[in-house]
A and B are shown apart, each in its own frame.
Chain A
Amino acid sequence: MAFDWLFFLEVLIAGLLSGAMYSLVALGFVLIFKASGVFNFAQGAMVLLAALTFVRLVEMGAPLWLAGVSTLMVMVVLAMLVERLVLRQLVNQAPIILFMASIGLNFFIEGTAQGVWDSDVHALDLGVPDLPIDVFGMLISQFDIFAAAMVAALVVVLAVFFQKTRIGRALRAVADDHQAALSVGIPLQTIWVVVWSVAGVVALVAGLVWGSKLGVQFSISLVALKALPVLILGGFTSVPGAIIGGLIIGAGEKLAEVFIGPFVGGAIESWFPYMLAMVFLLFRPQGLFGEKIIERV
């Protein structure tokens, strides 16, 4: 039997497109980790909060744009609260303390989101159906293309924000060297608010994309778990790493499922990414693009 290249390509593209969504979640982690040194366990809860707020506002009759803007505001307020009530209190604490705090934050956000709204499953319709269309003889989901385009647009916006604006320069400075950033007068606290707000925006986009695919419900906070292998692959400190890591994981799991799965009894999609990441960890613990982290004053 000849190898079906067209089919291979179709699976590969589907994998890359869903990988773009993993990249998105990983991106939220990386931004916060770089700027505030927190491995933010609450990233998944932020995705849930954003998606739930958005979908409930839409259900209450708000147009999509208004729901989007309002949800953004909620995420900014969350960032301010996190800075004031968590980060500011824990400045100079060990990373493990910050990590524990983010676990607490995770439960707090999850609980509040479901308390204020509810814990039902909500359908989210952004107006793009999840139906395959024919591209050069391959069947590709319209929604996946739309989602990937949204991710790409977000990445471009973030790149411009970080490279071209003054606040972006300050952000890069903080991510690069805390001490040096402080010594030139960059107020760390303002930067934290901005970074957590940006992570909130990323969570919103991720929430919209994942929510449309899976329905908005508690379990979308678990997409954060999908980001773990991506982070191990891409490195915790690298934005390009998060993007490329997501694509590799997405493509890898789909290809493995389709081409290796049948030989081992199937359903390997769910654990393949973790195994890939573990194997990778053995050879390159700092990830594809991550730097070794060395702390000194």
Chain B
Amino acid sequence: MSQAHKKIGDIMLKVEDISLSFGGVRALSGVSFDVREHEILAIIGPNGAGKSSMLNVINGVYHPQEGAITYKGSTRKQMRPHQAAKQGIARTFQNIALFKGMSTLDNIMTGRLLKMRRNFLWQALYWGPAQKEEIENRMVCEKIIDFLEIQAIRKTPVGRLPYGLQKRVELGRALAMEPDLLLLDEPMAGMNVEEKEDMCRFVLDVNDEFGTTIALIEHDMGVVMDISDRVMVLDYGRKIADGSPDEVRADQEVIDAYLGVSH
């Protein structure tokens, strides 16, 4: 992959000293890192290292006991997920969180809810202008469906789709939000080689074409080394490394952490 030409910009998200516990379980201890505009940051680490928790903190699902997050210049201790969404943070979940009863298209359309004029409560009452807006948003979704090559399942209820396709629909819904920051929690887990290649291509294309900043969690080292600009490693809730893929691969602490755990 040639990423030499890519312009990596300023710091978009600054995570400082985040600590998070659940009762007695310490999921994150004093984790700090940055995400820069237009980059692809991979978060890796053994199971239970706190990777998902970190994404959950960033988009406000979990509220850390300590630390602060600065996003687009404003600092906050915690926020709610729908506020994160408003500020341009979209995400997918490790255990796919789709609307199982709805079709692929409807699922992706929910990603447009915020783009449809602010007060969608009152919009519901006006048919005329709402109709026009609906069509415009529909077009955006159709483009995403083409981009992800899922035309064939547009009308299928997503609960009936195989796992790999569900992951793709979930990405589609996140893309429909036209996010500035995209958080992907194990987007390629449980996929076969071919599906993984497709997913890698989509991630790279999104980053390339729209300049979307991406933070993703991934276990497949081949994939991580291929697509990421930078890699951060978590182990037992602490950050143990942060650098280019090559630096991280050569890091002794990282090697030890991985040798200690079988995958």
By a beta-carbon cutoff of 8 Å, the part of chain A in contact with chain B is 165-170, 172-173, 176-177, 179-188, 190, 194, 296-297
The stretch of B84-92, B186-194, B244-252, B253-261 that contacts the partner chain: B84-92
| Given the contacts A166-B120, A170-B120, A176-B101, A183 and B106 also touching, CB distance less than 8 Å | no
Contacts of B81 in A (CB 8 A): 179, 182-183, 185
Asked whether B111 lies within 8 Å of A184 as measured between CB atoms, the reply is yes
A-B contact pairs, 16 of them (CB 8 A): A166-B124, A170-B120, A176-B101, A177-B97, A179-B81, A180-B93, A182-B80, A184-B85, A184-B90, A184-B173, A185-B81, A185-B85, A185-B114, A194-B121, A297-B61, A297-B93
Known: A168-B124, A173-B102, A188-B82. 16 other contacts (CB 8 A): A165-B124, A170-B110, A172-B99, A173-B99, A173-B110, A179-B61, A179-B97, A183-B97, A183-B174, A184-B85, A184-B110, A184-B177, A185-B113, A186-B110, A187-B82, A296-B95
| Given the contacts A166-B123, A183-B90, A183-B97, A297 and B109 also touching, CB distance less than 8 Å | no
Shortest distance in angstroms between B153's beta carbon and chain A's nearest beta carbon?
18
Report B173-208 CB contacts with A as 1/0, cut-off 8 Å: 110010000000000000000000000000000000
B100 at interface, CB cutoff 8 A: yes
| Given the contacts A169-B110, A183-B59, A183-B90, A177 and B100 also touching, CB distance less than 8 Å | yes
Report B102-142 CB contacts with A as 1/0, cut-off 8 Å: 10001001110110100011011000001000100000000
A165 to B123, CA, bound (A): 9
B56 at interface, CB cutoff 8 A: yes
Q: Chain A: interface secondary structure?
A: helix
Number of A-B contacts (CB under 8 A): 86
Asked whether A184 lies within 8 Å of B113 as measured between CB atoms, the reply is yes
Shortest distance in angstroms between A179's beta carbon and chain B's nearest beta carbon?
5
B18 at interface, CB cutoff 8 A: no
Closest B residue by C-beta to A182: B81
Contacts of B61 in A (CB 8 A): 179, 182, 297
A296 to B106, CA, bound (A): 23
A190 to B123, CA, bound (A): 14
B28 at interface, CB cutoff 8 A: no
| Given the contacts A170-B113, A182-B61, A184-B113, A297 and B56 also touching, CB distance less than 8 Å | yes
Asked whether B121 lies within 8 Å of A167 as measured between CB atoms, the reply is yes
A194 to B91, CA, bound (A): 26
Shortest distance in angstroms between A285's beta carbon and chain B's nearest beta carbon?
20
Shortest distance in angstroms between B9's beta carbon and chain A's nearest beta carbon?
24
Shortest distance in angstroms between A195's beta carbon and chain B's nearest beta carbon?
12
Contacts of A194 in B (CB 8 A): 121
Which 4 A-B residue pairings sit nearest by Cβ, starting from the closest? A185-B85, A182-B81, A180-B97, A176-B99
